[in-house]
Amino acid sequence: MSVRRVLIVVRPASGGQRQHLVTLLRGLDRSRYEPMVAGAIDPQLRQLLGSLDVEGIALPVAGGLDVRDVQACMGLRSLVRQRSPDLIHGHGAKSAMILAGAGLLGHGPPVVYTLHGFTRTAAASALFVRGEAAVARRVTRVIAVSSALGEWAVHHLGVSPERIAVIPNAIDWDRFGKEPVPDPQWAEAAPGGPRIGTVARLSSEKGVDILTRALAVLRTQAPDATLHVVGDGPDRHRLLARARASGVLQHVRLWGQLPPERIPGFLAGLTVYVQPSRREGLGLAALEAMAEGLPVVVTSVGGLPELVGENERGLSVAPNADAIAAGILRALGSEGPVWAQAAGRFARSFTVERQIAATQDVYDSAVAAKATGGG
């Protein structure tokens, strides 16, 4: 079988979506698929692509709607004509719009589209929802990173179930699941008391502001509890203002953006991990905390409840401060160690090998469907 060229189209991304891309590029069988990446390529991604011997082609793909989108569409169309890839793989709603604008749906190579999260349904984002639906119904195959996203694609985007593959993100077991060694910066943290933590971009959908309010409620029962947050983003100053208004600013520490290799050390210093998201495709950070043997409390949104099951591997609660605080108190009690043990076993199945094999099966299926006119 000849090597097939895969053009991967990306928007500006961090967190789980960036890690998904890295896992894919590292894991693809180069005797079967040769990847190249087009889209928003920041210096860090450029360096990574170089280390993996993957070509990167910069296109002006912005995070939101932008006048440069027209240029990105034209650039992508020209790129496909020049390189003639055997397959295109788009990631996220913005890549969907660029693919559609480039006129590549139904008039070129087969297209695989990965849903990483739920498109906002506010009026300002209605165009994204309509655009994503139009694309998702016309691509050859759709990958969803959770069952909840797969169901959303069926009911809200109109994708037929047989064209959807649910492939969760993988845990990098080269970093996680080892003997826990707390990060040296924990020596600077406030001593004693439960350490509640999360890893999240500081933006509204991640709900860290809810967690600061939950800390205020929690400290009425656990007065020595502190909150520790890894991540950065546009809501940093608003988050600090919320913490100040809730009277817990001195008990909140923002660690900033840590490199991936330091995340296990951060998790090793926590007592309970919380994912307080308002929207979430899967919740890779919560899954990584489970792999590190932490009891987790997640909000009942998106794919997060899939991680904890029927509350046998953690606790799923409503996305509000009182519910999260009550959940943390339960995790600090006798249930926490039981959840953590079950969570560690569950996390073991989220391997890179499983994710890559399933993705390559989708690629094979998409190429075959296009060849037979079924795409």
Q: How would DSSP label each residue in 165-177?
A: EE------TTTSS
CB-based contacts of 155: which residues, under 8 Å, 6+ apart?
A: none
Dist CA 229 CA 203 (whole Å) = 13
Q: Which helix (H) or strand (E) is 311 found in, with range? A: none
Both tokens assigned to 116: 């990483």
Model pLDDT, residue 375: 58
- Per-block average pLDDT, block size 10, for the chain (375 residues)? 90 75 93 93 89 92 74 91 94 82 82 84 58 83 95 91 95 87 84 92 93 97 96 92 93 93 95 96 94 96 94 96 98 97 95 96 93 68
Torsion angle defined by CA atoms of residues 166, 22, 230 and 306, in that order, rounded to the nearest 10 degrees? 10
CB-based contacts of 334: which residues, under 8 Å, 6+ apart?
A: none
Dist CA 303 CA 106 (whole Å) = 30
Cα angle 249, 250, 254; round to 5 = 70
Task: Say whether 184-347 and 4-170+351-371 share the same fold.
Answer: yes
Model pLDDT, residue 124: 45
Model pLDDT, residue 64: 66
SS3 track for 213-229? HHHHHHCCCCCCCEEEE
| Number of continuous H segments (helices) and E segments (strands) in the chain | 14, 13
pTM for the full predicted model? 0.90
Model pLDDT, residue 190: 62
CB-based contacts of 256: which residues, under 8 Å, 6+ apart?
A: 230, 231, 232
Q: Quote the DSSP letter at residue 246.
A: T
Question: What's the chain's Rg over C-alpha atoms?
Answer: 21
Both tokens assigned to 347: 């996390």
Look up the CATH superfamily of 4-170+351-371.
Glycogen Phosphorylase B; (3.40.50.2000)
Torsion angle defined by CA atoms of residues 158, 162, 164 and 165, in that order, rounded to the nearest 10 degrees? 160
Model pLDDT, residue 70: 87
Model pLDDT, residue 117: 84
Both tokens assigned to 327: 């959940």
184-347: what CATH class? alpha beta
Phi, psi of 34 (to 5 degrees): -110, 110
Asked if residue 115 lies in contact with residue 151, where contact means CB atoms within 8 angstroms, the answer is: no
* Residue 262: half-sphere exposure toward Cβ, Cα within 13 Å: 12
Cα distances (Å, whole numbers) of residue 133 to 117, 122, 257, 284: 13, 15, 33, 25
Model pLDDT, residue 82: 94
Cα angle 282, 288, 292; round to 5 = 150
Model pLDDT, residue 123: 45
β-sheet with 4-10: strand ranges across: 55-58, 33-39, 4-10, 87-91, 111-115, 141-144, 164-166
Query: Count of CB atoms within 10 A of residue 360's CB?
Result: 17
Helix runs in 279-332, H state only: 284-291, 304-308, 321-332
